[in-house]
């Protein structure tokens, strides 16, 4: 399974959990440990991941950070966990900062509530964790760029120098974005002067600056609106080009000329199917096409090789269509998306049949034997 699909699957699991964890320990077990494992670290190997790692501070003994991840026999990453839903407030940052300073080899601190992950380093001063994170990742709201940044922390991709370099860029980029947002909302006098002196020929009296305050604020907002509209116009033009095609994940917009709309649940179900099949087929070969009455999940994007069908249009009575060797469809009820995992073997059998079809020559002895018995 692709890394991004694994991330999505964990996010889907969190969203669909009926009884979220109400304690820190439950949050660790349900969300944080799977996240660490997803990064490629063996959570059951004390040479890689040590829970309750001792981080005594001065005369204060018994201090422990929730997890320490070891790379080349050194504790490089500290992870401090809080209960699911907790606000990752400043007091928790201070706690992680204290732990961080106890180990000279530690370069990254992660503060999490099981959904949000805030990444810190010592970019400003060696062995002293910065007060502000250089990167944040939310399992319920992320984009591909953020996934690629997260990938740097996987065991297979980990390179300390590369991450530190990227962390510095991310940190300062975040700060620039924050400043820009503040200036757009309420331009400072220096910001107004920067533009005004380039376009106003006279002396910049206070009355002139006051006048330019509204002009520049409006101009910035108009500039952003124009860029957004340009992007939307481009997206709509692409939609027009693909109207006659059924909705296909990753290739055309979710809504088509016929009014077909691919729901989030259908997308999540599609990702679950890809996750189930990842061990026997490349994820890129599993494609979903949304049709009027159902979503078809196909192998190699051909209707001759249906894997299963999603009947989700009836919100109260959803069902999964399982395909047998003769391409007959059996509908089974789905109360929640996790129910799809119950049919993992059936889905894998369908793929196996397409990849290794039984020929007439192979089935002939069986037919003869059956004829003799009858």
Give the domain CATH number at 292: 3.90.930
Residues 170 and 198 both lie in one domain:
no
Residue 196: per-residue pLDDT? 86
**CATH assignment of the domain containing 48:** 3.90.1570
Rounded CA-CA distance 55/323 in Å is 55
Say if residue 55 is in the same domain as residue 173: yes
Hey, which residues does 77 pair with through a beta bridge?
69, 108
Which regions of the chain are under pLDDT 70? 1, 57-60, 228, 231-259, 358-374
pTM of the model: 0.55
Same domain assignment for residues 171 and 194: no
Q: Across-strand partners of 248? A: 289
Q: State whether 152 and 87 are in the same domain.
A: yes
In a domain, 258, yes or no: no
How many domains does the structure of the chain reveal? 3
Beta strand 108-112 with 74-81: parallel, antiparallel or unpaired?
A: parallel
Judgement on whether residues 9 and 38 belong to the same structural domain of the protein? yes
Strands of the 49-54 sheet, one edge to the other: 49-54, 64-71, 74-81, 108-112, 116-121, 135-138
Q: Indicate the residue among 149, 177, 205 that finishes a domain.
A: 177
133 in the same domain as 29: yes
What is residue 102's predicted lDDT score, i.e. its pLDDT? 86
Of 274, 271, 273, 290, which is closest to residue 282 (Cα–Cα)?
274
Q: Report the Cα 309 to chain-centroid distance in Å.
A: 25
Q: pLDDT per residue over 81-98, tens digit each? A: 999 988 887 778 888 888
d(CA 108, CA 84): 22
Whether residues 112 and 87 share a domain: the answer is yes
The token pair that represents 112 in the structure block: 């999490």
Task: Specify the pLDDT at position 127.
Answer: 86
Q: What pLDDT shows up at residue 254?
A: 43
Query: Does residue 277 share a domain with residue 199?
Result: no
Q: Does residue 362 fall inside a structural domain?
A: no
Q: What is the pLDDT of residue 234?
A: 65
Predicted local distance difference test score (pLDDT) of residue 59 = 60
pLDDT, one tens digit per residue, over 126-169 is 889 998 899 999 999 888 889 999 999 999 999 999 899 888 88
Question: Quick check: is 372 in a domain?
Answer: no
Mark whether 225 and 343 lie in a shared domain: no
| Range of the structural domain that residue 26 is part of | 3-177
Same-domain status, 127 and 149? yes
Whether 128 and 43 map to the same domain: the answer is yes
Tell me, yes or no, whether 220 lies in a domain.
Answer: yes
Among 147, 125, 124, which Cα is nearest to 136's? 147
The residues facing 290 across adjacent strands are 247, 295
Give the helix ranges, DSSP H, for 68-205.
90-100, 144-151, 160-185, 189-199
């Amino acid at each position: 399974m692709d890394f991004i699909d694994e991330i999505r699957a964990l996010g889907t699991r969190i969203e669909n959990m009926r009884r979220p964890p109400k304690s820190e320990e439950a949050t660790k077990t349900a969300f944080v440990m799977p996240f660490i494992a997803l990064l490629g670290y063996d959570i059951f190997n004390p040479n890689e991941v040590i829970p309750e790692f001792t981080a005594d501070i001065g005369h204060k003994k018994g201090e422990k950070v929730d997890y320490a991840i070891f790379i080349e026999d050194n504790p490089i990453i500290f992870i401090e966990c809080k209960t699911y839903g907790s606000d990752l407030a400043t007091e928790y940052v201070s706690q992680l900062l204290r732990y961080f300073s106890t180990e000279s080899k530690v370069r990254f601190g992660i503060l999490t509530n099981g959904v949000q992950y805030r990444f810190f380093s010592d970019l400003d001063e060696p062995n002293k964790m910065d007060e502000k994170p250089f990167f944040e990742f939310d399992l319920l709201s992320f984009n591909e760029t953020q996934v690629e940044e997260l990938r740097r922390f996987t065991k297979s991709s980990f390179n300390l120098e590369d991450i530190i370099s990227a962390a510095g860029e991310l940190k300062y980029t975040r700060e620039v974005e924050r400043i820009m947002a503040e200036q757009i909302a309420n331009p400072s006098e220096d910001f107004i002067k920067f533009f005004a002196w380039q376009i106003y020929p006279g002396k910049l009296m206070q009355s002139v600056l006051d006048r330019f305050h509204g002009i520049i604020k409006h101009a910035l907002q108009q500039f952003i609106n124009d860029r957004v509209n340009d992007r939307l116009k481009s997206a709509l033009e692409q939609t027009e080009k693909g109207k006659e095609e059924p909705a296909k994940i990753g290739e055309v917009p979710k809504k088509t000329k016929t009014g077909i709309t691919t729901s989030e649940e259908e997308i999540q179900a599609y990702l679950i199917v890809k996750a189930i099949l990842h061990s026997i087929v490349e994820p890129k070969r599993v494609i979903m096409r949304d049709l009027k009455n159902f979503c078809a999940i196909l192998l190699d994007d051909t209707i001759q090789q249906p894997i299963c069908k999603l009947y989700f249009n009836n919100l109260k009575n959803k069902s999964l269509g399982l395909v047998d060797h003769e391409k007959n469809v059996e509908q089974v009820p789905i109360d929640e998306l996790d129910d799809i995992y119950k049919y993992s073997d059936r889905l894998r059998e369908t793929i196996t049949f397409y990849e290794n079809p039984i020929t007439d020559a192979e089935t002939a002895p069986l037919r003869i034997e059956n004829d003799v018995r009858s």
